[in-house]
Amino acid sequence: MKLCLLAIDLTLISTCSCFVAFNFIMLRMVTVALVAALVFLCGTVNGKETSACVLEKTKTAKAIDLTPLASKTNYVVNSATTQGNSYQFNLCAAMHNAAAPCTSSSMVCEYTNSQATANYGAIDNIQVSRGSGNIAAILVSKGDACPTLLGAKSTATFNFVCDSSVKTPTFKLLEDLPNQCKVTIQVTSKYACPGSGGGSIGTVLVAVFIGVLALYFIAGAGLMYRQGHGGSELIVHKTFWCGLPGLIGVRLAQDSASASCASDSSAILIFSCFASPFPCKQCIGPVHS
């Protein structure tokens, strides 16, 4: 985590090299992209965890990203045991237009004759794990206390089955036990296939960072060439990039105890600095050798 704040500090220091409008804009683009990538790589800047619907790659299994299954409208599966009952839900996101007793954070809600009757779990209270056999992943959502079964909670379980040909998810009701407040639904989708997810937000941020960094150096080289430079002088801000290893060493030699990505002050520092034309003077102190 200390290295994370170190890198953020260094990107802010680089902003001080803005002598012309091009340099200023390009450096800020790189800074924003790098900070976004660091937020993902560090896992947290303000204490918020990454999506629970992403199963990371392991030595024996590919990654599974279920987040693309989040829908702009609610999914609906009708009850197989009780006429007029249905389950409305979203996947890996809060459902839309939830009515009491469900809330704006509910992911699954039971309805009886179009009236919400039970909250089967909030988006911040879900667990996702790998399955076995033809079940690639299992999502469990737990909600309010079950009124008909003492000590139990309303529980919705989703079994994800991989089918690379299914673009729009299909649903099959496997278990419907309203008296026990339990429902199990099978979800068949291409996004349940290991390695074929839509790409987590962290992956996208890292890709954006790489793209912006490439643009920074290519456009910078073009500008330096037009100014008559050649060879290694085509590297924009060459002095800074060549001195970066030394800056890292200097920063590590300082009071490293104050470097913590867990502090909200780091996030406040970043964005308050962006609001200033010359942020380094106002927001950070000099780096002493």
Question: Has residue 179 got a pLDDT over 70?
Answer: yes
Res 117: pLDDT: 92
Nearest-angstrom CA–CA distance, 252 and 16: 20
What average pLDDT does range 191-214 have in this prediction?
74
Q: What is the pTM of this model?
A: 0.56
Beta strands 182-189 and 115-119, pairing class: unpaired
What average pLDDT does range 176-204 have in this prediction?
82
Provide the percentage of residues in the chain whose pLDDT is more than 90.
40
Separation of CA 79 from chain center? 33
Res 202: pLDDT: 57
Greater confidence (2 vs 95) lies with 95
Each residue's pLDDT tens digit, 98-113: 999 999 999 999 999 9
Among candidate residues 52, 96, 107, 106, the one with its CA nearest the CA of residue 74: 96
Whether the Cβ atoms of residue 103 and residue 125 lie closer than 8 Å to each other: no
Nearest-angstrom CA–CA distance, 258 and 66: 37
Q: Which of 4-18, 195-209, 225-239, 253-267 has the highest mean pLDDT?
A: 225-239
Res 223: pLDDT: 84
Question: Would you list the DSSP string of 230-271?
Answer: -GGGGSTTHHHHHHHHHHHHHHHHS-GGG--TT-HHHHHHHH
What average pLDDT does range 116-128 have in this prediction?
92
In this structure, of 9-13, 49-53, 191-195, 269-273, the range with the lowest mean pLDDT score is 269-273
